[in-house]
Amino acid sequence: MVDVDELVAAARVVSLPMRVRFRGITAREALVFEGPAGWGEFGPFPEYQDAEAANWLRAGIEAAYDGLPEPSRTGVAVNATVPAVTAEQVPDVLARFPGCRTAKIKVAEKGQSLADDLARVAAVRAAMPGGAIRVDANGGWTVDEATEALSRLVADGPLDYAEQPCATVEELAEVRRRLDGACDIAADESIRRAGDPMRVAELGAADVAIVKVAPLGGVRAVLKVADALKAAAGVRVTVSSALDTAVGLSAGIVAAACIEDGNAAGLGTGGFFTADLGEHPLVDGALQVRTVAPTEEQLAAVEVVGERRDWWLARLRRCHALL
């Protein structure tokens, strides 16, 4: 294991400003560092406790010190990601995802109603005729709310899947039972924030597994979980972003390029930032596998110093002690 003082010495804390509010934030903070194999990222969201956040550090160390597996493809198709914006804002959001034929739409946002969700999804359907539609509730509905909302959404057109409609695995299983095949259910938080990611398979709670590199502890860990879930329950696998910087997104693209499911990955999130640590150009709805090495100019433009830097360095030390 790399020495923590070496990581601290290499650490750069950054704050990437965002075009729209996403996951309740308008700037994305993360810590990045360079190692012998490249750059790694440590960016667990502030509300995550150290035991959970330690996996994010494990993923960053893998990228920077161990290197990533060799992918089987050179690029991956991605979905457009539509935050909980108004229906009128949808065309502007979709314009940042040229060539994408799948869209994932945030629903169940606090302070909004089902009517807002229905209008947002309808606007995406109108702007992307014939495209595949996914919705993501981030566990924001009860079982009854999810059943009603998804029943109304599928009445207007098919859904590729509904991501984490409720918070618990047991609730996902009940919603899946109630919908009886009308809509596939995807598990996100129930995999990446679970002590046992296989519970979704054991309880028949999901048709699709959303896997993310940083929360699961690295690309190799993602591939292991994906293989186990497919073998146990025959689930489809979608690799998604944890709102990563361009550094972390590089690892996500590699993971998606190692999986042959062919699902559009949820990795097209770079367009939400007005400044980043590199570029992953979206061309014809796809991202290419490429390494990002931030320049000093890119780092300096978004670097955080003072109290926030100290907060991240202390967090780094605590999480490193848990590995």
Active site residue 230: no
Catalytic site residue from 104, 212, 224, 230: 212
DSSP per-residue letters across 288-301: E-------HHHHHH
Q: To which H or E segment does residue 209 belong?
A: strand 208-211
Round to whole Å and give the CA distance between 158 and 4. 49
Measured distance between the N- and C-terminal CA atoms of the chain, rounded to whole angstroms: 9
Q: Are strands 208-211 and 185-187 parallel, antiparallel or unpaired?
A: parallel
Active site residue 106: yes
163 is in an annotated binding site: yes
170 is in an annotated binding site: no
Nearest to 217 by CA among 31, 71, 77, 40: 40
227 is in an annotated binding site: no
Nearest to 288 by CA among 262, 260, 249, 319: 249
The SS3 call for residue 315 is helix
Which residues are catalytically annotated? Answer: 106, 212
Residue numbers belonging to the annotated binding site: 136, 163, 188
Residue numbers belonging to the annotated binding site for Mg(2+): 136, 163, 188
